[in-house]
Amino acid sequence: MELERAKNFCNQWLPAWTGNKPELLISFYSADAFYSDPFVSKGLKGNEKILAYFRKFLSPYPEWKYEQVEIFPTENGFTLKWKVSLPINNDTVVEYGVDIVEIAKDKIIRNEVYFDTASLLKTIKEKQSQSA
């Protein structure tokens, strides 16, 4: 995939992760897509399972915002280094991660997400306990 095409795709796809819009987000995935992240390391196959997961995953943090850091085109998609900013109380938690994305017919057919869950969960817990 060419770099400009990957950037354009990300410019549309990443905002769908914000605002608790799982139906919009799933529209970027093919019907039989594969998705995995550290919380579902064995992965999920198909829109029904992925959508159910997105509904659960997105709802606690509707205000988080994903940004492109770097994109590395591959033959069938791209690898994306991203930054997420998650407002909690009067502070913002920032985490970085990587997605491996394969695309066919302008839809994601495979999405593997990697980030440090221990760091993210620890920071979220600390920020939430500060407000208690």
Gyration radius of the chain over CA positions:
15
> CATH says 3-131 is which class?
alpha beta
- DSSP 8-state symbol, 64: -
Closest CA to 71 of 119, 5, 124, 16: 5
Predicted confidence (pLDDT) per residue in 45-92, tens digit: 999 999 999 999 998 888 889 999 999 999 999 999 999 998 877 778
Query: For residue 131, what pLDDT is reported?
Result: 59
Give CA–CA dist 44/31, Å, rounded: 12
Q: What's the distance, Cα to Cα, between the start and end of the chain in Å?
A: 48
Where along the chain do its domains lie? Answer: 3-131
